[in-house]
Copies of this chain bind each other. A is one copy, B any other.
Amino acid sequence: MKTPVLFIDKSRVRQNYRDLKAAFPDFRICYAIKSNSHSGMIEILKAEGSHFETASLGEIKHLKSLGVAGDEIILSNPVKAPEMIAGALAEGVTVMSFDAVEELQKFLPYREKAKLVLRIAVPNEGSLWPLSGKFGSPEYLWDDIFEFMQNNSLDLYGVTFHPGSQGELAVAWDAAMRIAWRCIDEARDYYQLNPVCLNIGGGFPVDLGRPIPSIKEIADVVYEHLHYWAEHEGYKPQELICEPGRFISGSAGYLVSKVVGVARREKNWVFLDSGVFCGMMETIDGITYPLKTTGVGTKERVILCGPSCDSVDKMFETEIPTPQTGDKIWFQGAGAYTTVYASTFNGFEPPTVAYLENIDNPDELFKLVD
């Protein structure tokens, strides 16, 4: 097999799904396919009983082509072209997010069919990639939204939030649940709306070598609120949803690449056949991956960079045994937000994707590539 290759550990995908399901037993798990939409990944998760979270008609059609049913898909992009709404409904996808009055206007022709979920703004504290600003209605606009819904006979199906990608503080979910309650409470008390669904979004953190809360700790925070709502407010959502992406796919992937050249100057530059534009886009945001090479000898400090002539195509500095052209290298935790960002810039192809049942020893992967 020619490098670069993204190897996916199928057992690990399943285990990640099951760990999440164990922590959130009452939740409908909708895998965020933007993190890794490869057909093999979808098939594994479909077999586990997962549902799917999408942001576009392209993603919905991709899932439909793999045999996923419309009611197993939700559309959580708060801002959608009118054609996307019509197209999604035609595919049987009904649960859709929104976060502004402007968006609600597009739903007037679809009152009966669409299940509208209000995306509210919550603090993204502790998130490596905070989402606030671009999406989410702040509290001071809820009145306008609820009034519009009331005046236009639109039902509020549910409330959703997103604490940001790779959330590293469990307290972010605590804050989000408090705000969600204020929203649900206002909708019910003042506007006779009846949100029956709570979607807690994604952002569940994975091990990037920094301290993170376990999925159990996050679930405990969320459930504490749900129990309080049931006991003290007499409110129990009929449908609970979460949208894990990186948590499911990230740790299951190993990217195997090859050293195509070395240049020793003030710094030692190591050029790989994978780079920022063919899979490693997140490195420009500061992500690094645990890695190992087939090199031998004393460790050297190097800058890893991609094969293109673009100055942006630099990954990160690390220490590896004396690098040489032809050395192989694996990166751990590369299952999410890698191949999905890849282009063919400068004529370099994205990694191929291959599936294995168990990757207990990633060094074995070196034998599988030329």
Chain A residues in the interface with B (C-beta under 8 A): 34, 37, 54-62, 76-82, 84, 99-100, 102-103, 106, 121, 129-131, 133-135, 137-138, 141, 164-165, 258, 260-267, 269, 271, 273, 277, 285, 305, 307-314, 325-326, 340-349
Contacts and interface: CB of A to CB of B under 8 A. Distances in A.
A267 B137 CA distance: 12
A21 to B, nearest CB: 23
A277 B282 CA distance: 13
Contacts of A62: 347
Q: Pick the 5 closest A-B CB pairs, nearest first.
A: A58-B347, A56-B347, A59-B347, A79-B261, A81-B260
A48 B97 CA distance: 51
A267 B102 contact: no
B311 A54 contact: no
B311 A261 contact: no
A55 B347 contact: yes
Contact of A55 (B34, B100, B346): B346
B133 A260 contact: no
A282 to B, nearest CB: 9
Contacts of A82: 325-326
B34 A308 contact: yes
B56 A346 contact: yes
Contacts of A348: 56, 58
21 contacts: A34-B309, A34-B346, A55-B309, A56-B308, A59-B346, A59-B347, A79-B263, A81-B260, A81-B261, A81-B307, A99-B263, A102-B262, A102-B263, A102-B264, A103-B263, A133-B269, A134-B314, A138-B266, A164-B311, A341-B343, A341-B345
A263 to B, nearest CB: 4
Given A56-B348, A308-B34, A311-B165, A100 B263 contact: yes
A204 to B, nearest CB: 16
A285 B311 CA distance: 12
A359 to B, nearest CB: 25
Contacts of A59: 346-347
Indicate the member of A82, A307, A343 with the most B CB atoms within 10 Å: A343
A186 to B, nearest CB: 18
Contacts of A325: 81-82, 102, 106
Contact of A269 (B134, B258, B264, B342): B134
Contacts of A262: 100, 102
Contacts of A129: 311-312
Given A138-B265, A265-B137, A308-B34, A79 B343 contact: no
B346 A343 contact: no
A2 to B, nearest CB: 9
B100 A265 contact: yes
B341 A307 contact: no
A118 to B, nearest CB: 12
Contacts of A266: 138
A273 B131 CA distance: 19
